[in-house]
A and B are shown apart, each in its own frame.
Chain A
Amino acid sequence: MDFLTILQVSDSSIRLAVPLLLACLAGLFSERAGIFDIGLEGKMLFAAFFSAAIAYVTGSAWLGLLAGIAGSMLLSALHGVASITFRGNQLISGVAINFLAAGLTVLMAQAWFGQGGRTPQLSGDARFTEITLPFAEALRDVPVIGPIYYELISGHTALVYVAMLCVPLTWWVLYRTRFGLRLRAVGENPAAVDTAGISVIGLRFAAVAIAGILCGIAGAYLATALQANFVKDMSAGRGFIALAALIFAKWKPWPALYATLLFGFLGAVAIRYQNIQIGNFTIPVQFMEALPYILTVVILAGFVGKAIPPRAGGEPYVKER
């Protein structure tokens, strides 16, 4: 494997990791506040549809992004009402949201565009275009650093840089702000937060809303940056891989970046190489595809460093009577 191949695989790892990263951070905010969210998949899909549809109609990728975020937040609100207001089962609510998104997106796409449940191809400003960072062309011929800068760091869409910035931002919000401290507390011991006179319900709704925004960006990235239209079920299980990455990262922002990059890398390798030969032994491509899930189960089982979820996760909060 030569240097350029390594760079290309790394580059496509980043492209594949970005939606995982955004969804993973979405899950992180939600679950750190004690709300399980297996509806990441559905929210991403919903956002992908709305961003592609609005970007096509208005011709602006940024308006598409806003529409995607709005769509995703709509489902977040539903999740909030079901699991916070009515204290329903958060997992079941997530399952329902996934199906709702899977069904409604095709229904709406068919009703609006009549192209068999997809949106028309986006072109020009309706899509996020790749940004060439300053000096990328000039530095291209510098050995080692030049190609790294040109191939790997430069030449991504704006949303990739947004996603990368979200990692330190999430870290800062969670660990350096009052809101973050309260958010983490509400996921561990909501009664203590309530006793301090802070609204558990308000905090949890805020967390779910942030999850909606991040899933919205993830979905818009899928439909208007990675690909150029919405197609049925285009989130293709990414919400669940993000969930796996979240466990892998033990609900922490920086590890979330590494975990999603790893899973993105596994995806990139599976796409590029199919079956991998090591000596006489062949690693089938199906094993590479299943690896994120297998790794997550191993981590969950606690054989390699135990993953302990937020303590109040999944429990609706009932005020003492």
Chain B
Amino acid sequence: MDKMPAWADAVLVPLISLILAGVLSALVILAIGESPVEAVNYMVKGAFGSTNGWGYTLYYATNFMFTGLAVAVAFHARMFNIGGEGQAMLGGLGVALVCLYIPWPHWSLALIGSITGAAIFGALWAAIPAYLQARRGSHIVITTIMFNFIAFSVLNYVLVNVLKPAGAMDPATAKFPEATHLPTLHDMLAPLGIAFSKSSPANVTLFVALAACVGVYYLIWRTKLGYEIRAYGFSESGAVYAGISPFKIIMVVMLLSGALAGGMAVNNVMGEAERLVMNSVEGAGFIGIAVALMGRSHPFGVFLAAILFGFLYQGGAEMAFWTKIPRELVVVIQALVILFTGALDNMVRMPLEKMFLAMRKKGDA
């Protein structure tokens, strides 16, 4: 029945999609009169050429691992959580409250506290659309889009009217206290004798993200709940027949997804900015969609795709600095990746399936 071997599905399809996206991006660069080779050179040099570049690449990748996992977990139950952006915003609020109002003695305790805060706020923001989907049948995609906008207004209100220190002009919280500052990769690698850039924002949250990847893998493929989630995603009627409650699966998956998206705030709010500003998420919630699609909703795939997008973001910034190509090229690449790995998946898949079928027939004959 399988038209294609598993390895082709897992490796070949995303790879071809990526190549297509890359070729089209190169054409776009050519069309605006710049050199794609030069652009790639600047990107690679900018993202991997120095420990500073690495630091930024890994910092972005950490964000995308969280939001990518959030989308991926929901995909397993065939839910499309497009609200990662809003959930990450609210997660930021959770982190800010935890860091500002609890006197932490040490960063490690503060880290645990803010992970909890971020996860709870993110999960709660996902809980309302989840409940409406599960009980009232409101389409989760539409409600989560609406909740992104509502989150923006909520955060705007809270920052302007509640959390902004008296006398400050910009809508942002006060700086978090010293004890909540997370160690950066520079701080962590220095004792090992590795000189890592001091100015780059990559921090200990990277390891939290890696742990989240492992945790999601374990949950989805090694637990009963994960099995139920996958069964529900595969066939709702089959799952119901097997005694799996759709309400429970939708709620659990969306709470988890929201918590993961919210978890991103530990990296950007606590680890980097050390205060909550208005647009701290910077579209990472949406990049999560591309990351999850590219990574085929598998945590290891998400990890690789997150590194790829971290490279694109850091490399793209450097490229925009050194060439005349605007940074928005990265948005185009992101769009093409979503297009080829998501919407045009069948376009890539159908010829491949035909090819493998033809090869098999030849083998049989």
Is B293 interfacial (CB-CB < 8 Å)?
yes
- Asked if A96 meets B146 with Cβ closer than 8 Å, knowing A107-B328, A287-B153, the reply is no
Interface residues of B (CB under 8 A from A): 28, 31-33, 80, 82, 128-129, 132, 136-139, 141-143, 145-147, 149-150, 152-154, 156-157, 160-161, 286, 289, 293, 324-326, 328-336, 338-339, 342-347, 350
Q: Which residues of B contact A297 (CB under 8 A)?
A: 128-129, 132, 138, 143, 146-147, 150
A110 to chain B, nearest CB (A): 5
Q: Which residues of B contact A293 (CB under 8 A)?
A: 146-147, 149-150
Near B by CB (< 8 A), chain A positions 283-304 give: 284, 286-287, 289-290, 293-294, 296-297, 300-302
Q: Which residue in A100, A244, A300 is a CB contact (below 8 Å) of B138?
A: A300
Q: Which residues of B contact A110 (CB under 8 A)?
A: 32, 324, 326
Q: Which residue in A81, A98, A290 is a CB contact (below 8 Å) of B153?
A: A290
Q: Which residue in B150, B289, B328 is a CB contact (below 8 Å) of A102?
A: B328
Query: Are A103 and B329 interface neighbours, CB within 8 A?
Result: yes
Seed contacts A104-B328, A293-B146, A301-B138; 17 additional CB < 8 Å A-B pairs:
A82-B344, A82-B347, A86-B347, A86-B350, A92-B342, A93-B344, A96-B336, A99-B332, A100-B335, A106-B326, A110-B324, A110-B326, A111-B33, A240-B149, A284-B157, A297-B147, A309-B139
Query: Are A104 and B142 interface neighbours, CB within 8 A?
Result: no
Q: Which residue in A86, A90, A106, A300 is a CB contact (below 8 Å) of B142?
A: A300
- Asked if A91 meets B82 with Cβ closer than 8 Å, knowing A102-B331, A240-B145, the reply is yes
A44-70 vs B, CB cutoff 8 Å, 1 = contact: the mask equals 000000000000000000000000000
Query: Are A300 and B150 interface neighbours, CB within 8 A?
Result: no
Query: Are A104 and B28 interface neighbours, CB within 8 A?
Result: yes
Q: Which residues of A contact B350 (CB under 8 A)?
A: 86
Query: Are B154 and A286 interface neighbours, CB within 8 A?
Result: yes
Query: Are A89 and B343 interface neighbours, CB within 8 A?
Result: yes
Query: Are B147 and A117 interface neighbours, CB within 8 A?
Result: no
Report the bound CA distance from A219 to B80 in whole Å. 28
Report the bound CA distance from A100 to B152 in whole Å. 23
Query: Are A300 and B331 interface neighbours, CB within 8 A?
Result: no
Q: Which residues of B contact A96 (CB under 8 A)?
A: 335-336, 338-339, 342-343
B330 to chain A, nearest CB (A): 7
Q: Which residues of A contact B150 (CB under 8 A)?
A: 290, 293-294, 297
Q: Which residues of B contact A91 (CB under 8 A)?
A: 80, 82, 141
Q: Which residues of A contact B154 (CB under 8 A)?
A: 286, 290
Report the bound CA distance from A92 to B343 in whole Å. 6
B217 to chain A, nearest CB (A): 23
Q: Which residues of A contact B129 (CB under 8 A)?
A: 297
A87-124 vs B, CB cutoff 8 Å, 1 = contact: the mask equals 11111110111111011101110110000010000000
A83 nearest CB neighbor, chain B only? B343
Query: What are 21 residue pairs bridging A and B, where the CB atoms are less than 8 Å apart in the complex?
Result: A82-B343, A82-B347, A88-B346, A89-B343, A96-B342, A100-B335, A100-B339, A103-B328, A103-B329, A104-B328, A107-B32, A111-B31, A117-B326, A244-B142, A247-B142, A286-B160, A289-B156, A290-B153, A293-B146, A300-B136, A302-B137
Report the bound CA distance from A1 to B41 in whole Å. 62
Q: Mostly helix, strand, loop or mixed at chain A's interface?
A: helix
Q: Which residues of A contact B332 (CB under 8 A)?
A: 99-100, 103-104, 107
Is A243 interfacial (CB-CB < 8 Å)?
yes
Query: Are A86 and B339 interface neighbours, CB within 8 A?
Result: no
Is A218 interfacial (CB-CB < 8 Å)?
no
A101 nearest CB neighbor, chain B only? B335
Q: Which residues of B contact A237 (CB under 8 A)?
A: 149
Near B by CB (< 8 A), chain A positions 256-297 give: 284, 286-287, 289-290, 293-294, 296-297
Q: Which residues of B contact A87 (CB under 8 A)?
A: 346
Is A24 interfacial (CB-CB < 8 Å)?
no
B34 nearest CB neighbor, chain A only? A111
Report the bound CA distance from A300 to B28 in whole Å. 40
Query: Are A95 and B289 interface neighbours, CB within 8 A?
Result: yes
- Asked if A301 meets B149 with Cβ closer than 8 Å, knowing A108-B32, A111-B33, the reply is no
Report the bound CA distance from A243 to B144 in whole Å. 13
Q: Which residues of B contact A107 (CB under 8 A)?
A: 28, 32, 325-326, 328-329, 332
Report the bound CA distance from A86 to B347 in whole Å. 6
Query: Are B161 and A92 interface neighbours, CB within 8 A?
Result: no
Near B by CB (< 8 A), chain A positions 173-218 give: none
- Asked if A302 meets B339 with Cβ closer than 8 Å, knowing A103-B334, A297-B132, the reply is no
Query: Are A287 and B342 interface neighbours, CB within 8 A?
Result: no
Q: Which residues of A contact B143 (CB under 8 A)?
A: 297, 300
Report the bound CA distance from A300 to B146 in whole Å. 11
A244 nearest CB neighbor, chain B only? B146
Most buried by A among B32, B145, B328, B346: B328
Report the bound CA distance from A111 to B289 in whole Å. 29
Q: Which residues of B contact A82 (CB under 8 A)?
A: 339, 343-344, 347
Report the bound CA distance from A289 to B80 in whole Å. 25
